């Protein structure tokens, strides 16, 4: 069994965004009587990825091969792939290239092969594992996590319409609203747009607004 542990040295500077799976998916192809079943998962860490691999290996215990690849981290710091008994470089690496080609991270693809009795050759295996991984990925929903800042806006009731109109014009969703002595709106904005949005809100509300910063992190907007 050939396995590569590929440690990627990435920039530690904050990325503006990265792509992730919003939903898992499966796909299957048949090549010369061999079945290739792809299971695609969103994973948060290496331990979760390895647990998924063990789960699939148990589920498809009678299969000839359970090959996989995963990429984890905001900067794709962790990358690993396995041929699981297939000729070196014909399974794990093609699956990994599908993940990287889609620009995804925190993603695991496991391709299970039930041997159909016909040898595919090196080129045939690479194509089959690539196509099956792509088939699984095609049945997933992909989203983008953006480096963002959570903000809480506090205004008087006379400024509600001003705030709502400005946020609507800038395609910003209100995550939560609280109507008490004053009105508070929780929003999340791209970190790169934070100053512009804050300045715009202050101007729109004629200075009659308080803006408090919350957590900064990567969120799906």
CB 107 within 8 A of CB 99: yes
Q: How many CA atoms lie within 13 A of 89 on its CB side?
A: 2
Domains of the chain in sequence order: 3-139 (3.30.230.30), 146-220 (3.30.70.240)
Per-residue pLDDT, 13 = 52
Rounded mean pLDDT for each run of 10 residues along the chain, 221 residues in total: 31 75 97 97 97 97 97 95 96 98 97 95 97 98 96 97 97 96 97 96 97 94 84
Residues 6 and 46: beta-carbon distance below 8 Å: no
The alpha carbon of residue 13 and the mean position of all alpha carbons in its chain are separated, in whole angstroms, by: 19
pLDDT given at position 15: 83
Question: Measured between alpha carbons, how far is 149 from 46 in angstroms, rounded to an integer?
Answer: 27
Which residue, among 191, 192, 185, has the nearest Cα to 212 in the 3D structure?
A: 185
Instruction: Give 72's strand partners.
Output: 78
- Could you report the per-residue pLDDT of 147-196, keeping only the tens digit for each? 999 999 999 999 999 999 999 999 999 999 999 999 999 999 999 999 99
């Amino acid at each position: 069994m050939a396995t590569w542990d590929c440690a990627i040295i990435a920039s530690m500077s904050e990325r503006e965004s990265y792509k992730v799976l919003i939903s898992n998916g499966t796909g299957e192809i048949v090549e010369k009587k061999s079945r290739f079943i792809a299971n695609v998962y969103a994973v948060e860490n290496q331990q979760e990825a390895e647990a998924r691999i063990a789960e699939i290996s148990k589920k498809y215990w009678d299969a000839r091969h359970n090959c996989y690849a995963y990429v984890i981290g905001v900067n794709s710091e962790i990358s690993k792939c396995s041929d699981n008994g297939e000729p070196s470089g014909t399974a794990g690496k093609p699956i990994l290239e599908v993940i990287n080609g889609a620009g995804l991270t925190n993603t695991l693809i496991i391709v299970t092969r039930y041997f159909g009795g016909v040898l595919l050759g090196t080129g045939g295996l690479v194509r089959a594992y690539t196509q099956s991984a792509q088939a699984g990925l095609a049945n997933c929903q992909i989203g983008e996590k953006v480096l963002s800042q959570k903000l809480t806006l506090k205004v008087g009731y006379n400024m509600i319409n001003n705030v709502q109109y400005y946020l609507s014009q800038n395609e910003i969703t209100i995550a939560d609203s609280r109507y008490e002595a004053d009105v508070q709106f929780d929003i999340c904005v791209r970190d790169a747009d934070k100053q512009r949005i804050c300045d715009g809100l202050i101007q729109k509300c004629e200075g009659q607004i308080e803006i408090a910063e919350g957590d900064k992190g990567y969120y799906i907007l």
